[in-house]
């Protein structure tokens, strides 16, 4: 994959922008979501817990003595068709739906206790996580968010493919995502969806959008011993005539789910990204590459001198 040369910049909100930024948020009390992982079939008890200001999202493997895995790009590992994290011997798998729900509802700080590696697949959407967050309630912390604001276009493209994702300066104070989905020769019809990511729109337009795959892919996975506890009622499996044993919630539900995935993958920045993001056939790997480019631009941003003078390049951490 390649990034467009010379155009990628981002900046942290300065005092003027921060005046309009909300305060960080966490949960009011712990809440539990339980279910089985799609890939492994293992049961997992997921406890979402309040966390302190500035702590971000951190997974805790309760079954491994409390080993911690931060939900940031530094800990991402390659995996097929999902987003996985690893810190030392502790892995956390298929995190994108939970991270999407937390980001979509504006939860910045949360500890996520787990009793297994893979998060529950549930019905293939983020709806159960959103319901749990709302049940727990949202608490405001005493420090404002510091969004990463994209100030010039960043494009990530897959060589030899039409897959691409780009971020351009935001037209709103926040994140807007559009997704064009087109798989020629597959039973899933071409479709597009776009929305501004606000808690209200996330609840009503994205949370219930389910993951999907063609029937031949589902059969291939189960033949390899994966997803043996999953049925066509647990996600959208497309045959020649549409979803098998299931009904679409929206005509463009697949594109909505892809937007949901983008929101979850962008959460690996560790801070909200403010940009208009446009994706076409982008998957988790390209989404992560966009996060890396935004963080790299932030590291290379010019520093502001305390008193007059010329701004000099600033070294940075890993974002």
Q: Where in the sequence numbering do the catalytic residues fall? A: 284
Show me where the domains of the chain are located.
Answer: 1-21+146-210+249-302+313-319, 22-144
Q: Between 1.10.730.10, 3.10.129.10, 3.30.230.20, 2.40.30.10, what CATH number should domain 22-144 receive? A: 3.30.230.20
| 194-218 mean pLDDT | 94
Mean pLDDT score of the chain, rounded to an integer?
88
Q: Label residue 112 exposed, middle or buried (CB < 10 Å: 0-12, 13-18, 19+).
A: buried
Same fold across 1-21+146-210+249-302+313-319 and 22-144:
no
The pTM for the full model equals: 0.88
Query: Does residue 317 surpass a pLDDT of 90?
Result: no
- Sole residue written with tokens 């956390």: 92
More confident residue, 217 or 138: 138
- Looking at residue 304, its pLDDT comes to 53
- Looking at residue 249, its pLDDT comes to 97
Q: Between 3.30.1700.10, 3.40.190.10, 2.40.40.20, 3.40.605.10, what CATH number should domain 1-21+146-210+249-302+313-319 receive? A: 3.30.1700.10
Reported as a single tens digit per residue, the pLDDT across 255-280 is 999 999 999 999 999 999 999 999 99
What torsion, rounded to 10 degrees, do the Cα atoms 27, 31, 37, 38 define?
A: -70
Query: Does residue 112 surpass a pLDDT of 90?
Result: yes
């Amino acid at each position: 994959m390649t990034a467009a040369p010379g155009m990628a910049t981002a900046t942290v909100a300065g005092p003027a922008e921060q005046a309009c930024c909300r305060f960080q948020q966490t949960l009011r009390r712990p809440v539990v979501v339980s279910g089985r992982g799609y890939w492994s079939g293992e049961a997992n008890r997921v406890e979402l817990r309040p966390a302190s200001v500035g702590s971000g999202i951190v997974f805790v493997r309760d079954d491994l003595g409390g080993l911690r895995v931060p939900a940031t790009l530094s800990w991402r590992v390659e995996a097929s068709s999902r987003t996985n994290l690893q810190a030392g011997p502790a892995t956390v798998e298929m995190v994108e739906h939970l991270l999407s729900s937390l980001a979509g509802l504006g939860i910045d700080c949360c500890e996520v206790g787990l009793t297994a590696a893979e998060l529950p697949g549930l019905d293939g959407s983020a709806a159960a996580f959103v319901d749990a967050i709302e049940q727990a309630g949202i608490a405001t912390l005493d420090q404002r968010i510091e969004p990463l604001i994209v100030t010039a276009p960043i494009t990530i493209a897959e060589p030899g493919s039409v897959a691409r994702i780009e971020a351009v300066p935001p037209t709103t104070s926040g994140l807007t995502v559009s997704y064009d989905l087109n798989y020629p020769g597959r039973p899933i019809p071409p479709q597009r969806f776009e929305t501004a990511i606000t808690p209200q729109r996330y609840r009503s337009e994205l949370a219930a959008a389910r993951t999907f795959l063609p029937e031949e892919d589902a059969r291939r996975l189960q033949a390899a011993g994966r997803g043996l506890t999953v049925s066509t009622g647990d996600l959208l499996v497309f045959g020649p005539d549409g979803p098998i044993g299931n009904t679409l919630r929206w005509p463009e539900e697949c594109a909505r789910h892809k937007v949901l995935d983008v929101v979850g993958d962008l959460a690996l920045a560790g801070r909200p990204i403010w940009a208009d993001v446009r994706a076409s056939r982008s998957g988790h790997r390209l989404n992560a590459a966009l996060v890396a480019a935004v963080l790299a631009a932030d590291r290379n941003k010019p520093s502001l001198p305390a008193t007059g003078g010329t701004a000099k390049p600033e070294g940075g951490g890993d974002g």
